[in-house]
């Protein structure tokens, strides 16, 4: 028993089928490029979040220092 040709449709109508490995490799290259762009964007966003966090943390420190400068804990 022989297996039927999976490309019978292409042969019937004279369509030249591109070997699947070429399209898979092209798609793989495209996806790798998209991943690289997303990784770069992720690094940029992470850096921006760290900058915001540090700025907010510094502002909180300043505000708490000002508030507790005049706070008396019962000293003489």
Tell me which H or E stretch contains 31.
Answer: helix 20-69
**57 close to 64: Cβ distance less than 8 angstroms:** no
Question: 5-58: per-residue pLDDT in tens?
Answer: 777 777 777 777 666 777 788 889 999 999 999 999 999 999 999 999 999 999
- Tell me, yes or no, if the pTM score tops 0.85: no
- Distance, CA of 59 to CA of 66 (rounded, Å): 11
């Amino acid at each position: 028993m022989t297996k039927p040709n999976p490309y019978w449709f292409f042969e019937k109508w004279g369509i030249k089928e591109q070997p699947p490995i070429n399209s898979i490799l092209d798609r793989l290259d495209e996806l790798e490029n998209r991943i690289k762009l997303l990784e770069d964007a992720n690094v940029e966003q992470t850096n921006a979040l760290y900058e915001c966090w540090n700025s907010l943390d510094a502002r909180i420190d300043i505000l708490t220092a000002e508030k507790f400068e005049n706070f008396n804990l019962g000293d003489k």
